[in-house]
Homo-oligomer: A and B are copies of this chain.
Amino acid sequence: MPELVNRQTLKRVRETAERLGYQPNRAARALATGRTENIGIIVPDLANPFFAEIIKGVQGRARESGSVTCVADSEEDPDTERALITEMSKRVDGIILCSSRLTTNELRGLGEVTQVVVLNRENVGLPSVTMDAAGGAQQAVEHLAALGHRRLVYLGGPSVSWSNRERRRTIRSCATRLGTEIAELGPFVPSFEAGVQGADLAVATGASAIIAFNDVMALGVLSRLVTRGIAVPEEVNIVGFDDIAMAVMTTPALTTVAVPKAEAGRAAVDLLIAALLGQPVANRKMAGQLIVRGSTGAYRGPAPAAAK
């Protein structure tokens, strides 16, 4: 309100900006406030496009709130992950743990060490963001059933993956409910090659549609199906790396359930910020989105009604 302050402030700001842009010393500020304005994120594999997309979201949201993002790659190793948490905790205000390879018990104890938000994990006594793996899997099965497929195959991911466990469970119960046959193959290391291999195994079962653990595997499946002349090449249209993918053996060639990875990353940062402010934090579950790709181009549509 006081105009004097305004003028003075303006003057100071001007001086500041003028005098080669003054930048406060972050270390000194951190010492005084106890806040680093850094947030950490630990993923099992930085090179996995799935996590890269999440990091992108985290970094973007963190930047908006004036923070910088510190990343680390645990290389799928629980010991490394533990060490990383310890190393990071002293340099950041909080950590976002993606698809943690730690046990539930270990995760429960983490609240003492530093502020933690888990992504792709539930019920560990920490704020969490999940991508509704179950819902996505359900949409996939219902979609295939609606297309008339009666025999499905699920090419499973790593048995240590929480997402995989969730999907398996859902796919099985959902298929049973719809009276659809479901065969489970795997576990596979989720690679292109595993998809190629899985495709042959799946075809041998006499199934008419395949659900793959993720897009990388689905890519392999599709490649193999095209090679064997089973899928229609013109329909092949893979653009993204979404979370759970479904390769159908006829048109449309590939359908995926896209999960909002960047959004999930942003949500995780929001939860972290809330927790740091001592606000109550509610867990977040991001909905998956069925994406049907056809020869006329990709379009996003609602999930087909469940054939209950």
Contact = CB atoms under 8 A, between A and B. Distances in A.
Contacts of A72: 59, 63, 68-69
B38 A47 contact: no
A36 interface: yes
Contact of A91 (B38, B49, B89, B233): B38
A270 interface: no
Question: Interface extent on A, as a size class?
Answer: 35 or more
Nearest to A223: B236
A82 interface: no
Contacts of A69: 70-72
Given A46-B59, A70-B68, A71-B69, A91 B239 contact: no
A28 interface: yes
Contact of A193 (B55, B223, B239): B239
A111 to B, nearest CB: 15
Contacts of A226: 223, 226-227, 233
Contact of A59 (B36, B38, B71, B238): B71
Contacts of A48: 52
A134 interface: no
Interface stretch (A19-27, A276-284, A300-308): A19-27
Given A27-B27, A47-B53, 11 more contacts: A25-B31, A26-B36, A28-B31, A30-B31, A38-B91, A46-B52, A46-B59, A63-B72, A70-B70, A71-B71, A227-B234
19 contacts: A23-B89, A25-B31, A26-B36, A27-B27, A27-B30, A27-B31, A27-B36, A30-B30, A38-B70, A46-B52, A46-B59, A48-B52, A59-B72, A60-B73, A63-B87, A68-B87, A69-B70, A226-B233, A227-B233
B56 A46 contact: yes
A25 B28 CA distance: 12
- Integer count of this chain's copies in the complex: 2
Contacts of A52: 46-49, 52
A214 to B, nearest CB: 14
The 6 A-B residue pairs with the shortest CB-CB distance in the complex, in nearest-first order:
A27-B30, A227-B233, A27-B31, A46-B56, A47-B52, A26-B90
A230 to B, nearest CB: 12
Interface string A7-46: 0000000000000000111111011001011101000001
Contacts of A89: 23
A90 B25 contact: yes
A154 interface: no
A88 interface: yes
Nearest to A30: B27
Nearest to A66: B87
